[in-house]
Amino acid sequence: MSSNFEGLGLVVYEALALNTDVVTVDLKETIQYLEDNQAIIIPNSSEGIYDGLCKHVNNQYKKIEFDFEPFRENQNLSSTAFLNKI
């Protein structure tokens, strides 16, 4: 589904965590952590959606796995800081 605004598009990262292919529109907040070929990033237009889905269906991109490790480290630091305040 196309969006004109979204904070962090969590559904994109949930799909990546499940190793699901992702086609997403080019929204800065959603794609800021993505590198090339971790998802198919398309213009937010009907043509962009069509082209992105065709690229996916025809296997015209080689997917690279998203690395969640830096986010896990940040989560652990945040959890530790929170517990230290209690």
At 18-46, the pLDDT tens digits run: 999 999 999 888 899 998 899 999 999 99
Helix and strand tally (H, E) in the chain? 4, 2
* Banded model confidence at residue 80, pLDDT cuts 50, 70, 90: low
Q: How do the domains of the chain map onto residue ranges? A: 10-85
Cβ atoms within 10 Å, residue 34: 17
Rg (CA), the chain: 16
As a residue count, the chain comes to 86
* Banded model confidence at residue 83, pLDDT cuts 50, 70, 90: low
The mean pLDDT value for 73-77 works out to 62
pLDDT value at position 72? 73
Q: DSSP string spanning 11-26?
A: HHHHHHHTT---EEE-
* Banded model confidence at residue 12, pLDDT cuts 50, 70, 90: very high
